[in-house]
């Protein structure tokens, strides 16, 4: 992820948004939560897509929608506190296979780099929920001919022996599209641990693949290859009713 640290290329359009960290954006320590960081990153991506002409409104007229497949974020320094600012710079990189790739640089009010990130998005047809070939929808997404995908595609290799929680999807988890907001899954992972555990071993880097949609009432089983949040931990979330994997993640805890 260190290759994302340099400033973005001026040849590709970018957007910079300044976000005020409100009371509901911080965690138990008064610092921007990982859940809120994911939400800010997604919101910035949506704003930029609208500005570039392939956002929510434009796709909606064609019965299409963006869906986040994967996200990777690495913390470089302390996140902002309550009443401070978070600056997010974002830039689309182009198409790799079925994915549209987008990078992020997160800075504090002093323009110090505090986190870097990358994401993969697909376009689906809203009625069938099937992914669409991006070059058939927006050929203008090809900002670069050589796109390096920094969001690895995770596989359910190895064992996940520890069932850490079973969670039933609630109304507050559901977004505009009727499924669970992606950032909620990050909150579910953090909720597996006590505040004391997260203070001792905070999240340093997260890689997550969103594989299936989940809806109100679904029971989600959360498995891990370790019980504690120490070093690298792999997670698997699956729907209890049909055992379909809905999420795979790798988290490095300091």
Q: What is the pLDDT of residues 102-121, one digit of tens each?
A: 999 999 999 999 999 999 99
**Residue-averaged pLDDT of the chain:** 90
Do 127 and 118 form a contact (C-beta atoms < 8 A)? no
Question: 48 or 177, which is more confident?
Answer: 48
Question: 35 or 131, which is more confident?
Answer: 35
Give 141-178 pLDDT, tens digit per residue. 666 666 677 888 999 888 999 999 999 999 999 998 88
* Level-2 CATH architecture, domain 162-253: Roll (3.10)
Do 145 and 196 form a contact (C-beta atoms < 8 A)? no
pTM of the model: 0.91
For the chain, the residue count is 254
Confidence of residue 138 (pLDDT cuts 50, 70, 90): low
Confidence of residue 94 (pLDDT cuts 50, 70, 90): confident
How far, in Å, are 26, 53, 56, 200 from residue 193 at the CA level?
Answer: 17, 41, 35, 11
Q: Which of 91-95, 177-181, 227-231 has the highest mean pLDDT?
A: 227-231
Which helix (H) or strand (E) segment holds residue 173: the answer is none
CA-based torsion, 188, 193, 198, 202: positive or negative: negative
Confidence of residue 137 (pLDDT cuts 50, 70, 90): low
pLDDT for residue 95: 80
19: closest CA among 70, 77, 89, 67? 89
Give the bridge partners for 74, in sequence order. 116, 205
pLDDT for residue 121: 92
pLDDT for residue 158: 86
Give 3-23 pLDDT, tens digit per residue. 555 678 788 888 999 999 999
Pick the CATH number of 2-141 from 3.30.70.20, 3.40.50.20, 3.40.50.2000, 3.10.129.10: 3.10.129.10
Which helix (H) or strand (E) segment holds residue 188: the answer is helix 182-190
Give 172-196 pLDDT, tens digit per residue. 999 988 899 999 999 999 999 999 9
pLDDT for residue 236: 98
Mean pLDDT calculated for residue range 32-42:
96
85 φψ region: left (φ > 0), alpha (ψ -120 to 50), beta (else): beta
pLDDT for residue 139: 61
Please, where in the chain does CATH 3.10.129.10 lie? 2-141, 162-253
Q: Which residue has the tokens 């505090």?
A: 114
Q: What gap in Å lies between CA 153 and CA 176, rounded to an integer?
A: 26
Mean pLDDT calculated for residue range 45-60:
85
214 φψ region: left (φ > 0), alpha (ψ -120 to 50), beta (else): beta
Largest CA distance in the chain: 49
pLDDT for residue 180: 95
How far, in Å, are 32, 59, 77, 148 from residue 55 at the CA level?
Answer: 27, 6, 31, 23
């Amino acid at each position: 992820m260190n290759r994302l640290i340099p400033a973005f290329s001026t040849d590709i359009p970018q957007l910079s948004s300044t976000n005020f960290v409100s009371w509901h954006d911080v965690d138990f320590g008064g610092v921007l939560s990982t859940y809120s960081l994911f939400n800010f990153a997604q919101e910035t991506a949506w704003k930029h897509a609208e500005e570039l002409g392939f956002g929510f409104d434009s796709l909606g007229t064609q019965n299409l929608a963006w869906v986040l497949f994967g996200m990777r974020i690495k913390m470089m320094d302390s996140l902002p506190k309550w009443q401070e600012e978070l600056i997010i710079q974002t830039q689309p990189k182009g198409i790799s296979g079925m994915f549209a790739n987008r990078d992020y640089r997160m800075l504090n009010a002093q323009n110090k780099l505090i986190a870097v990130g990358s994401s993969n998005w697909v376009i689906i047809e809203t009625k069938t929920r099937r992914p669409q070939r991006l070059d058939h929808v927006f050929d203008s997404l090809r900002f670069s001919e050589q796109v390096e995908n920094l969001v690895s595609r995770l596989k359910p290799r190895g064992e996940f022996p520890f069932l850490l929680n079973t969670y039933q999807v609630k109304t507050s988890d559901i977004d505009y599209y009727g499924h669970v907001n992606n950032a909620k899954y990050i909150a579910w992972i953090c909720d597996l641990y006590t505040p004391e555990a997260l203070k001792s071993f905070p999240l340093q880097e997260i890689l997550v693949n969103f594989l299936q949609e989940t809806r109100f009432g679904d029971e989600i089983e959360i498995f891990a290859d370790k019980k504690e949040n120490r070093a690298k931990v792999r997670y698997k979330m699956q729907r209890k009713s049909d055992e379909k994997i809905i999420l795979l993640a790798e988290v490095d805890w300091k």
